[in-house]
Amino acid sequence: MMNNKNPSLQPSTHDGLSSASFDYKSWREHFIVTILRIASVLGIALIAVSFPNATTADRILFPILYLALLIITILQVNYSVRAFALLFLVFTVGVNSILAWGPWLDGSVFFIAFIALSALLFDQRIDTIALLVSIFTYVLIATLQQLGLYQFRAADVPVTTLIDWVSCIIDFSIISIILIIAINQFKNEFAHVVQDMQNTFKTLATERTQLEERIHERTNELEVRAVQLRSSASVSKTIAEIQDISELMESTAKLASDQFGYYHVGLYLLDERKKTAFLQAASSAIGKQLIGQGFRIEPDRLNLISLVVEHNRPYITSDVDDANFVRDTNFPLTRSRMILPLTVRNDVIGILDMHSDQPQFFNTQDAEVLQTLADLVAISIDNVRLINETKNLVHQLEANTSVQTRETWTKFTSRHKPAYQYTPAGVRPLFANNKQDNVDGLHVPLMLHGQNIGNIILKRKGNTTAWSERERTLVEKVADQVALALENSRLVDETQKNALRDQVITNISARVRETLDVESVLRTATTELRRVFDLKEAEISIGSPQIENTPGKKHTSSLRLK
């Protein structure tokens, strides 16, 4: 799922590393072109300087050599042709210099340059051949000169003896051999360096390719994680607004299946014993059928759901790499499965079971992202349950308050005048026998906690009996305030009575505790009770009640005050 590669990255990678690598052959081709261009520029200056004093043969030879130099420089010829032509030109100039001046001028320099260029432009065999050719040329010219068969063209050449030639050839050979060895060692070391560089470049290219592949894979993973997080946020936002548990679970299963591409998502809730899991919602048709059949999963250590409940952690399995994968007969298309616990306050309340028909579809990163969604679903389910319980408690409290209000006001109205009426003569009480059921005017009930504790009846002066909606609304608001005021007044009255009762009890208790004599205690208690309640008489008895014709029973002691 994360193994896609970006082919657009490959060409740039290899091109960059190829340009960074070193090619010795390319360097030699570039080097010889540079040498030819420099020689072409400097050759004009050399010919111009040496032409006035040059011999007739040199005046013919040098232009021919320079023309050949221009030809191999300008024309696009093969490297070997250019290299051999350059060596031939340098060798020819050296031979011409020796034929003209002997070993005393710059002939040896051109021969050394001839050998050095042979070592740089070709392999070891060519530089060795160049050395042998140079030595042979020296020996040949020296032999011809010593035998008198050839005389130097220049007139002022010093007398050259055999010792001079031998010394020159030995010096030239030593210098040339040292130069060849040094250049070859440099070439070998340089070849090793180039080979190491090329190996390094290849290693870097491989590592860079692997790194780019890993970066691309990581980028794809991050994109998948971002999509999952956006989907999780969308699902969480949707389910957070649902206040019905059944609708919440159905929406969770459906949205999880649609957003993440799972062909089946099931949501299980555990019973009170946290043992049996009941299927409550499903996204697939097979799952909905199982819900209708009351599908449940009993405790079983071999069942994946039981393992998730027991260990409170996600479980991922696939038919490819998991030997413990158990195919569910209810879902034969399942090839990958991920089970997440629904946890609230470290307590598992249910299971979110997700199936895919693709192998190895789930991984640990998916479990981390979706576990957050599962936790939010669990919290939402628990919150909705708590809200429903709170609503039920509120309804029960309202019902109890309503019943208590009805009973309290029934008792209260039985002890007080039931109604008051305002007349031009003032306010007067109305008794039950004066109540008229069919009174014209506006009737507004006094409602308190859903109970009708009274009525407001308003009648207009004159013949007008109609009341507008605005007036009715105003009277209803006044009725609400009157009902609250009546309730507050009743509560204040009840509080005062309770306070008075508590004070009476406190006073009697204080008076009774002033003495430890039984007769005094009884007398004090009887006196206070008669005084407080304004009684005709009060009697306090202690001991068991006296029962006539029952022998062996104790008689009571009593104190009566009239």
Q: What is the pLDDT of residues 2-15, one digit of tens each?
A: 344 344 334 444 44
Judge if 116 and 194 occupy the same domain. Answer: yes
Q: Using CB atoms within 10 A of its CB, is residue 307 exposed (0-12), middle (13-18) or buried (19+)?
A: middle
pLDDT at 20: 45
Which of 177, 207, 237 is the last residue before a domain boundary?
Answer: 207
pLDDT tens-digit map of 38-66: 888 887 877 777 777 667 777 788 888 88
CA distance 194 to 21: 8
User: pLDDT tens digit string along 373-430?
Assistant: 888 888 888 888 888 888 888 888 878 877 787 777 777 777 665 676 666 666 666 6
Q: What 3-state class would DSSP assign to 321?
A: coil
Under 8 Å between Cβ of 170 and 103: no
The alpha carbon dihedral of 495, 501, 507, 512 has a sign of: negative
Percent of residues, the chain, with pLDDT higher than 90: 5
CATH for 313:
3.30.450.40
Domain assignment of residue 218, yes or no: no
Q: Is residue 436 part of a domain?
A: yes
Considering its fold, how many domains does the chain have in total?
4
Band the pLDDT of 81: cuts 50, 70, 90: confident
Q: Which stretches within 280-344 are classed as H helix?
A: 285-292, 304-311
Same domain, 343 and 429: no
Asked whether residue 432 carries a pLDDT value surpassing 80, the answer given is no
Does one domain contain both 290 and 368? yes
**Span of 241-255, 326-340, 365-379, 537-551 with lowest mean pLDDT:** 537-551
Helices (H), 262-421: 285-292, 304-311, 364-414
Asked if residue 458 and residue 326 are part of one domain, the reply reads no
Mean pLDDT to the nearest integer, 440-446: 79
Taking only the tens place, the pLDDT of each residue in 116-145 is 888 888 876 888 888 899 899 989 988 888
Q: What is the mean pLDDT of residues 187-196?
A: 84
Q: What is the mean pLDDT of residues 235-255?
A: 83
Same domain, 382 and 482: no
pLDDT computed for residue 560 by the predictor: 56
Q: Which structural domain, as residue segments, surrounds residue 21?
A: 9-207
- Residue 16 reports pLDDT greater than 50: no
Same domain, 430 and 385: no
Task: Give me the mean pLDDT over the 19-35 stretch.
Answer: 73
261 and 358 assigned to the same domain: yes
User: Is-contact 153 96, C-beta < 8 A?
Assistant: no
Residue 231 within a domain:
no
pLDDT score recorded for residue 438: 52
Q: Are 113 and 200 members of one domain?
A: yes
Q: Residue 561 class from Cβ within 10 Å (0-12 exposed, 13-18 middle, 19+ buried)?
A: middle
Please list the residues that pair with 458 across neighbouring strands: 442
Which residue, 390, 425, 449, sits at the end of a domain? 390
Q: How far is CA 161 from CA 104, 110, 147, 150, 168, in A?
A: 12, 22, 11, 14, 11
- Does residue 80 sit in the same domain as residue 136? yes
Domain end, chosen from 152, 175, 207, is at 207
Whether 473 is in a domain gets the answer yes
Decide which of 180 and 452 is more confident: 180
CA dihedral 406, 412, 415, 421 (to 10 degrees): -90
pLDDT reported for residue 420: 67
**What confidence score (pLDDT) does residue 212 get?**
92
Rg (CA), the chain: 60
The answer to whether 385 and 344 are in contact (CB under 8 A) is no
Q: Give the integer Cα–Cα distance in Å for 64 and 74.
A: 15
The answer to whether residues 198 and 59 belong to one domain is yes
- Residue 120 resides in a domain: yes
Segment 58-87 mean pLDDT: 84
Q: Tell me which range, 89-98, 153-162, 313-322, 395-404, is most confidently predicted by mean pLDDT.
A: 89-98
Within a domain: residue 534? Answer: yes
Question: For residue 225, is pLDDT > 80?
Answer: no
**Is residue 527 located within the same domain as residue 467?**
no
Query: DSSP letter at 28?
Result: H
Q: Are 201 and 310 members of one domain?
A: no
pTM of the model: 0.49
Paired tokens of 24: 């010795």
- Flag whether 275 is in a domain: yes
CA pair distance 108, 97, nearest whole angstrom: 9
pLDDT > 70: what percent of the chain?
A: 84
pLDDT confidence bin for 211, thresholds 50/70/90:
very high
In a domain? residue 127: yes
